[in-house]
Amino acid sequence: MSRPTPADFTRAPLPRFPLLLGPTPLHELPGLRAALGGPTRCPRILVKRDDLAGPALGGNKARKLEYVVADAQAQGATHLVTVGATQSNHARMTAAAARLAGLGCVLVLESPSESPAREGNLLLDRLLGAEVVIVAPGPPGVAENPNEAAAIAAAMERIAAEGGRPYHIPVGASVPLGVLGYVDAVAELEAQLAAAGAEATRLYFAAGSRGTQAGIVLGARLHGAGWTPHGVAVSPGDPEKTARAVALAEAAAELLGSDVGIAPEDVITHQEMIGAGYAIPTDESRAALRLLARTDALLLDPVYTAKAMAGLLRHIRDGHIAPDETVIFLHTGGVPALFTAAMAAEGQH
């Protein structure tokens, strides 16, 4: 496989608020490879441990929030305001980042219950001192929940009326500034592969709001990565989500002073692991979660990484990936969701 030439780009001096504690580990999964038939049947599998990125049980949002929180500080913000589900990893990480930056934090979280159980990420949100506003789900088929929008607007207005300056972060910090976090992650990964003398052919990861995917695709192009990004969708929404990833990647490239182009065909997203919908485990994702725990003591989460790993496992078992390849799995975090009543029930099977 020929290695692409890195694109030329001039990086603007964009500030970052430090949330990472150094490069996240990259290591092999020998137990999984053995369970899948060994070197004659299974590729070498490396895992990039972004579940260890940042504070408060970490995750991929730490990389995005480094840039977003720095921008909030530059604008004189006193509070961060964001949105998500009650088990949102992004909400938890925003609460942690706000605490470290000395900012207030308001989380608008969607739940069908007016009093959702204080467990998993929601427990950590409150432990971190975030103000939590629970809103009902929006009408079926509506892209933007009007209840969320109204609650965000009310929080922003109240903070401003009290003399503060609120800073709104869209869901998942999937904005051009946030995308830069995964452009950096690709450079970090490339350095680790070079140090290990490894040449990877594919990178698998969970694709949700597509900010991480945009950064990976852009980063692979800018840094001349020899592997192909493979997103595994955890929720429906294509082709609109692919168009969003392209737009985010191009906007992030502009921030870096690059005119590199990203096309929809550059954004590979496998759709077969979505199942009944977002945050609803499938038989394959449950099996993947149990398998990784028992082969390599690696804990996945039920919403994102278990579905992404299920996609990788299916491609290996179906013979789409040759045994002589080296594949990277990006662990984007989300482990707090394991500690919920729903997942405790799943664990009994």
Exposed e or buried b for every residue in 195-233, given b needs 16+ CB within 10 A? eeeeebbbbbbbbbbbbbbbbbbbbbbbbebebebbbbb
Compute the 3-state secondary structure of the chain and give helix, strand, coil in percent, each to the nearest 5.
Answer: 45, 15, 40
CA count, 13 A, side-chain hemisphere, 79 = 22
Max Cα-Cα span within the chain: 66
Given the residues 2, 88, 174, 258, the one annotated as active site? 88
Contact assessment for residue 16 and residue 38, using Cβ atoms and an 8 Å cutoff: no
Report the SS3 class of residue 273: coil
Question: In the numeric block, which tokens belong to residue 221?
Answer: 């192009």
- The CA-CA-CA angle for residues 277, 131, 52, to 5°, reads 60
Determine whether 88 is an active site residue.
yes
Residues that are catalytic: 88
